[in-house]
Amino acid sequence: MILIDGRKHDMDVTDFQNLDQVFVKVMEDGALSDRVVTDVYVNEKPFSEIYPHQAEDIDLRDVQSVDIRTLGVGEVAVEITRELYKVVSLMGEGASRVAELFRNADDAEALETYQDLLDVTRDFISMVSVLRGEFALKDHKEFLEASDQLSGLFSEMTDVLANEDWILLADLLEYEFLPAVNRWKKVVALLREDVRTSGKA
């Protein structure tokens, strides 16, 4: 028996040799279009791959049921926007921490933490861009302004970093980067609303 979100699917486990074939067939049938798989249960026990393509090694001779559970892409996107809101707070805390380290002349740790902050910020912007491309129907003025502000700050901080002016970098982080990051809370809230009203949530 093959279940998708609690509904019996018109396929039988005995028609397949391994679990991977079940997944491929379910995808081909379009049963998972606009869905994200969250859990898989084999014989009512949770299954997740320990190594890539492990599903190919799961022989179905002793399998009575495969239960695939999913969420809509829009539901997942709403959850991601909730996580993005937390990331904004972490970016703010990170900026304060880096500024404090520079002011305490702990330059090595400050630079390492600063690099982590830049990586998180780039990933954050990238995820926001993906979500906007997929769901957002509006070009919010707040998004464009927040993006421009952060982009300008990145350029300025890169120049300051090249000159190794750690105190100026600390000032930029505390007095300009931190307020710029806090603007993104409103942008994320607007994005979440766009996702909810896109018809995909």
pLDDT tens by residue, 9-63 = 877 777 888 888 888 888 888 878 778 788 899 889 998 888 888 888 888 888 8
Question: In the predicted model, is pLDDT for residue 73 greater than 80?
Answer: no
Query: Quick one: tokens of 92?
Result: 């703010």
One DSSP character per residue, 25-87 reads HHHHTTTTTTEEEEEEEETTEEE--SSTTGGGG-BGGG---EEEEEEEHHHHHHHHHHHHHHH
Query: Which one is predicted more confidently, 24 or 171?
Result: 171
pLDDT of residue 113: 94
Question: In the predicted model, is pLDDT for residue 199 greater than 70?
Answer: no
Least trusted range by pLDDT, from 76-90, 115-129, 131-145: 131-145
Least trusted range by pLDDT, from 30-34, 69-73, 190-194: 30-34
Residue closest to 63 by CA, chosen among 55, 51, 73, 71: 55
- pLDDT-based confidence at residue 132 (cuts at 50, 70, 90): confident
Give the DSSP H or E segment for 3.
strand 2-4
Question: In the predicted model, is pLDDT for residue 201 greater than 60?
Answer: no
